[in-house]
Amino acid sequence: MKVYDGDTNPAGDPDVKSDTQIKVGIAEYEVTANGATLTTSGLGSCLGVAVYDEAACVGGLIHVMLPSAEEMTDANRAKFADTGLAALIETLEREGASRERMVAKMAGGSDMLDFSRNGTSIGSRNVEQVEETLAEFDIPIVGRDIGGEHGRSVRFRAGSGDMEIKSASEDATTI
Amino acid sequence: MKVDIQSLGTFNSLAHEGAEQATAALCQMTGIDASVEVTKITLMDRADVGESLRGREFVGVQFGFEGELAGDTVLVFEDGCADSIVEALVPGGAGDEMAQSSVKEIGNIMMSGFIDGWADYLKTTIDHTPPTYIERRGHEVLPTGSEDGADQVFVFKSEIEWVGEELSFYIYMLPAQDSLVDVMTAHANTEDDAIPIDKLTVFNEMTTEGTRAAAEHVSMMTGVETEAEVSRISFAPIEDVSKQIDSRTYVGTVVEFDGTPSGYLMILFDEQSAYNIAEELMPTETDGEEFTAMHESAIEELGNVMTSGFIDGWANVLQTAVDHSPPEVVHDMGRAIMDPLAARVGMNQDHAFIIESTMRTDEIEFESEIHALPDEEELRAALDDLLVERADETEADIEQIFQT
């Protein structure tokens, strides 16, 4: 995890800020304090969740793979919805965001290729876990594009809070 | 000789860390933004190493290394990458000689970090030779490696992406197999989850057989002579599994298979290949270049037959029944297709074995990738059930090696 705090843009030129693009890998999160665009791709059952404080201009995007870290020995918190969101929120606060002002948007959690014969799909469980964890932190979800049977790619403009979602078959949407 | 899952995991993260350090050194020196996309360990035919570099020009910086671990390593830049690095170091352009020495120097600093990381972990000294600068096409940019008799070799490969430039470079490490095996054995933590390497090798042959059977079905159905090309088994962290597929859109079929082992099998065609092969299957030519529902149903039929060929090939060798679900047709971003399957497997394991093969033909532009994602414990059980008759056998004979 890296925090992009404006070092790359010492002049503070607003035009430069919006050009900065940061890629978020699977089971990773990134935080920006200078309104950069955070992107992640290949979301199937995975979820891309953006949490941001517009007033403080601090935002982050996480690409979670599985719902809960319980019963797993993996040390990578960002892989799971519950521990990953907690880590993201901690980092946002460290960068000057206020939890009271934070809002969230999410995309992904598709039910494509769900071979589970019983129980809910991983995509749905990821969505449920994100909702639960964000509720615990008292952070409202203000936009979502979830479920269905297709993959998604996401561009989150931390400056405006816009989340642009693309898929292989459908037109791009912004939430 | 056995290799345990835990040390495969450790070695994989070691290679990844090394690549991260090398990349950080590059970024610091040039100011470019690059990140390590994926690191994996692959067991494959020596002749197929570097196959994914086919048809492109590269600049390489090669080193030999010696010590507790010995072998060769090479930093491979796509042609445009090397030019941009030189431009970052010497703005306004540099002469050929200066450009070469810049790239060589960058390579030297990057790879020293990479090798030192291994030496630190192994608590030993690893010496490396001065760098050699080369310009070659395809896999020829890689060192030929020491001829230590092994047909199948472990290769460490990291892919590093230059953010925003659509350029990539690679770090290959080709350890001398004897020395790698010694190091792995010395650093193995447990015997519980150990897999004998010779059986893993046989598994690759099985995949080749399965792919050959699938390719025969393609030839029979379409009249296009198709050949099985590369088979390999890789080991990577579960979060890197979907990165095995590139970021293009794919068409294909996915099944869940059940037996020892169970898991998922994907047969994927890039959109152009899917269109071309579907055209061969259809009785009449279609108007236009669009991929229609008819093309998709042709792909479904083909995927179905290929799956049966592949899975029957496995089942025959394993002398066991491997059932599979009806195929689901997919037409989506390749990585999104792999994602839910990796997540499902990732509920029980941190790392995964990925079995991959490709088939091709020269007659039309066509390539198909087969990816299998087996449950790790069940794969180990399947390998345990294989009986290697003679430990000194150099030519693996599937008929003899598998217990009936």
Which span out of B94-98, B154-158, B196-200, B266-270 was modeled with the highest average pLDDT?
A: B266-270
Give the start-to-end residue ranges of the domains of chain B: 2-186, 194-401
Sign of the CA dihedral with B266 first, then B270, B276, and B278 last: positive
Give φ, ψ of A59 to 5 degrees.
-145, 160
Q: Name B147's Cβ contacts closer than 8 Å, sequence gap at least 6.
A: none
Residues B39 and B156: beta-carbon distance below 8 Å: yes
**B243 — contact with chain A (CB < 8 Å)?**
yes
Q: Name the minimum distance, in Å, from the CA of A68 to any CA of chain B.
A: 10
Asked if A45's CB is within 8 angstroms of B338's CB, the reply is no
The tens digit of pLDDT for each residue in A131-166 reads 999 999 999 999 999 988 899 999 999 989 999 999
**Domain limits, chain A:** 3-174
Selected for mutation to probe chain B from A28, A115, A170 (highest B CB count within 10 Å) is: A115
**At CA A116, angle to CA A67 and CA B38, rounded to 5?**
55
Q: What is the mean pLDDT of residues A2-17?
A: 43
Contact between A133 and A88 (Cβ < 8 Å): no
pLDDT at B128 over 90: no
Assign B384 a pLDDT band (cuts: 50, 70, 90).
confident
Mean pLDDT of A51-55: 93
Q: How far is CA A155 from CA A63, A80, A164, in A?
A: 12, 21, 5
> CATH number of the domain at A3-174, out of 3.30.1330.200, 2.30.29.30, 3.40.50.1370, 3.10.20.340?
3.30.1330.200
Q: What is the mean pLDDT of chain B?
A: 80
Is the previous residue joined to B261 through a cis bond, with omega within 30 degrees of 0? yes
Give the pLDDT score at B378. Answer: 83
Q: Position of tokens 């690679």?
A: B170
Angle between helices B293-318 and B197-222 (to 10 degrees): 140
| Chain-chain contact of A66 with B346 (C-beta, under 8 angstroms) | yes
**Out of A21, A43, A74, closest to residue B164 by CB:** A21
**For chain A, what percent of residues have pLDDT higher than 70?**
85
Nearest CB among B254, B336, B346 relative to A42 is that of B336
Of B238, B264, B343, the CB nearest to A45: B343
Cα–Cα nearest to B268, from B341, B371, B192: B371
- Asked if B340 has any chain A CB less than 8 Å from its own CB, the reply is yes
The gap from C-alpha B324 to its chain's centroid, in whole angstroms, comes to: 25
CA of residue B156 relative to chain centroid, distance: 9
Fold assignment, B2-186: Chemotaxis protein chec (3.40.1550)
Q: What is the tens place of the pLDDT at every residue in B178-211?
A: 888 788 777 766 566 677 777 777 778 778 888 8
Of the candidates A25, A27, A41, the beta carbon closest to that of B247 is on: A41
Q: Is the CB of residue B221 less than 8 Å from the CB of residue B24? A: no
Output phi, psi for B52, to 5 deg: -70, -10
**Among the CATH numbers 3.30.1490.20, 3.40.50.10480, 3.40.50.1980, 3.40.1550.10, which is that of B194-401?**
3.40.1550.10
Range B17-27 average pLDDT = 84
> Is there a contact between B340 and A110 if contact means CB atoms under 8 Å apart?
yes
pLDDT score at A168? 81
Cβ pair A113:B247 closer than 8 A: no
Q: Write the pLDDT tens digit of every residue in B231-244.
A: 888 888 888 898 88
> How much is the pLDDT for B153?
82
Q: Which residue of A has its CA nearest to B162?
A: A23
Nearest CA in chain B to A78: B239
Rounded to 5 degrees, what angle do the CA atoms B11, A66, A74 make? 35
- The Cα of B35 is separated from the nearest Cα of chain A by a number of Å equal to 9
Q: Which residues of A are catalytic?
A: 46
pLDDT for residue A145 = 93
pLDDT above 80 (res A54): yes
pTM (2 d.p.): 0.83
The reply to whether residue B340 touches residue A73, judged by beta carbons under 8 angstroms, is: no
- CB spacing of A65 vs B256 below 8 angstroms: no
User: Which residues have a Cβ under 8 Å from the Cβ of B392 and sit 6 or more positions away?
Assistant: none
First to last CA, chain B: 23
For chains A and B, count residue pairs whose Cβ atoms are closer than 8 Å.
101
B chain contacts of residue A62, beta-carbon cutoff 8 Å? none
The end-to-end CA distance of chain A, in Å, is: 25
Contact B347 A79 (CB under 8 A): no
